[in-house]
């Protein structure tokens, strides 16, 4: 019985003589090619993106590398500037402290020098004053005598004698005389009482019309013969009567001076007597 089945061709099948080769249809090929192409394109795109990313990352890292180094450089430069500034300020502070110490020492030295200068000025002034006193004129009143011409209670006295003498080292000019008397209640009687507290004894009053007296010379006072006195109250338990002579003059240094003498009498008394005032001759 004839076999009409068409046996499948195997790899071992060899075509027979005169048999034509019929190409097999392949429907899967184009799809695979498309898929392969797409896959290749996708891979190429991934590779391209990866290369791009790598380049960008490389660029970013490179840029970051430079930025980091620039920032480090700026930070280092800033730190250097701060260190230099600190050094400068530290030197300035040290200099100021040194200057303050120097100024303090100078102030101390100047204060000591000022004290020394003040002492020297005081000494010089005293020496100058001493030198002026040595070289200046000095007038004294000698042989002052009063005579009681009327007894209390209507007491009157008269200048009997008075001599002015220049015992200094130079001439005295503008010599002016003042004389007078005063009375008052003094209770109790004081042995050291001196009536020359009035300005007439403390304030020089030289006159340009007064006369001059050379050193070592003398002359009578122009007040010889003058009289003064007054009534004494009867109820006075202690009464003081004083009489004075004051001489004003100018020395060669144009300084004014005054010298005075006074006599004092205490009443009532059985034997009224004019005594020399406690301080004697006053020189100013």
Q: Is the preceding omega at residue 69 within 30 degrees of 0, hence cis?
A: no
Interatomic CA distance for residues 119 and 111, integer angstroms? 12
Interatomic CA distance for residues 186 and 260, integer angstroms? 22
Q: Model's pTM, two decimal places? A: 0.55
Domain chopping of the chain, boundaries: 29-135, 139-283
Q: Tell me if residue 188 falls in helix, strand or coil.
A: coil
What string of pLDDT tens digits covers the 284 residues of the chain? Answer: 444 555 555 444 455 555 555 455 455 667 777 777 777 777 777 777 676 767 777 777 778 888 888 888 888 888 888 888 888 888 888 888 888 888 888 888 988 888 899 888 988 888 888 888 888 899 998 888 888 888 777 778 888 888 999 999 899 999 998 887 777 776 555 555 666 666 656 778 898 998 999 999 999 988 877 777 777 776 767 777 778 888 899 999 899 998 888 887 777 776 777 777 766 566 66
Interatomic CA distance for residues 217 and 211, integer angstroms? 13
């Amino acid at each position: 019985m004839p076999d009409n089945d068409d046996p499948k061709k195997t790899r071992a099948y060899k075509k027979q003589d005169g048999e034509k080769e019929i190409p097999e249809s392949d429907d899967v090929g184009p799809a695979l090619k498309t898929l392969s192409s797409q896959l290749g394109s996708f891979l190429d795109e991934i590779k391209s993106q990866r290369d791009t990313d790598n380049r960008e990352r490389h660029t970013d890292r490179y840029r970051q590398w430079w930025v980091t180094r620039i920032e480090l450089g700026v930070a280092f430069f800033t730190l250097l500037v701060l260190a230099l500034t600190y050094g400068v300020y530290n030197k300035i502070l040290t200099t100021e402290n040194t200057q303050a110490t120097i100024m303090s020492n100078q102030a101390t030295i100047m204060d000591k020098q000022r004290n020394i200068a003040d002492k020297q000025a005081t000494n010089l002034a005293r020496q100058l004053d001493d030198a002026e006193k040595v070289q200046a004129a000095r007038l004294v009143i000698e042989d002052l005598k009063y005579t009681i011409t009327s007894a209390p209670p209507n007491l009157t006295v008269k200048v009997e004698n008075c001599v002015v003498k220049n015992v200094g080292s130079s001439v005295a000019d503008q010599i002016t005389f003042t004389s007078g008397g005063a009375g008052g209640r003094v209770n109790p009687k004081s042995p050291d009482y001196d009536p020359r507290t009035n300005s007439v004894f403390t304030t020089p009053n030289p006159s340009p019309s007064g006369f001059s007296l050379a050193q070592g010379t003398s002359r009578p006072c122009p007040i010889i013969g003058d009289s003064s006195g007054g009534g004494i109250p009867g109820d006075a338990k202690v009464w003081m009567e004083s009489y004075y002579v004051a001489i004003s003059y100018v020395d060669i240094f144009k300084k004014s001076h005054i010298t005075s003498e006074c006599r004092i009498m205490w009443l009532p008394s059985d034997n009224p007597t004019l005594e020399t005032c406690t301080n004697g001759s006053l020189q100013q």
